[in-house]
Amino acid sequence: MSVNGGTDVDLSNAVWRKAGEGDGRDSVEVALLADGHVGLRDGKNPDGHVLVFTPGEWSAFVAGVEDGEFDRPES
C-alpha cells in the first residue's frame, strides 16, 4: 500500500488489535506499522480497506478525539 506520494507501507506483518472495549461487533482495529505509520480498519471486515495515517496525521487525529472534536451532538 502506498501513502503520501508513494511511500510504501507493508501491511503483511501488521498486528491488529481492537480499539476500545466491547463484544467486537462494532470494532475498529489499529496496527502500529513501519516508520511510525498507523493502520486503521473495520474489525467486521478485516480484508477490506485500511486507512494509513502518517505519525503527524495520527497525532492530530488522537488529539481531536481527546478534545471531543468527533463527539456526536446530544439530541
E strands in 1-75: 2-3, 7-8, 17-19, 28-32, 38-42, 50-53
Distance CA 50, CA 42 (A): 8
pLDDT in tens, the chain (75 residues): 545 555 677 888 899 999 776 665 678 999 999 888 999 999 889 888 899 998 999 999 999 999 999 999 887
Residue 12 confidence (pLDDT): 86
Q: Could you count the other beta carbons within 10 Å of the beta carbon of residue 62?
A: 12
pLDDT for the residue 56: 94
Distance of alpha carbon 27 from alpha carbon 62, whole angstroms:
17
pLDDT of residue 23: 62
Q: Where are the domains of the chain?
A: 30-69
Query: Has this prediction a pTM greater than 0.85?
Result: no
Tell me, what's the pLDDT at 4? 56
